[in-house]
Amino acid sequence: MSSPPQGLPRPDIGILSDKFLAEVRGLKHKNVAAELLEKLLKDEIKVRSKRNFVQAKQFSDKLKQTLNGYHNRAISTMEVIEELIKLAKELDSATKRGVDLGLTDDEVAFYDALAANESAVRVLGNDQLKVIAAELITQVRKSATIDWTLRESARAKIRVIVKRILNKYGYPPDLQDEAVRTVLQQAELLCAEVV
Q: How much is the pTM? A: 0.77
Identify the CA nearest to 15 among candidates 84, 92, 80: 92
> For residue 194, which amino acid is it?
V
What is the C-alpha to C-alpha distance for residues 193 and 69, in angstroms, rounded to an integer? Answer: 35
Q: What is the pLDDT of residues 115-143, one digit of tens each?
A: 999 999 999 998 999 999 999 999 988 88
Residue 34 CB-density burial (10 A; 0-12 exposed, 13-18 middle, 19+ buried): buried
Q: What is the pLDDT of residues 71-106, one digit of tens each?
A: 888 888 999 999 999 999 998 888 888 888 888 889
Q: Would you say 132 and 166 are in contact if contact means Cβ atoms under 8 Å apart? A: yes
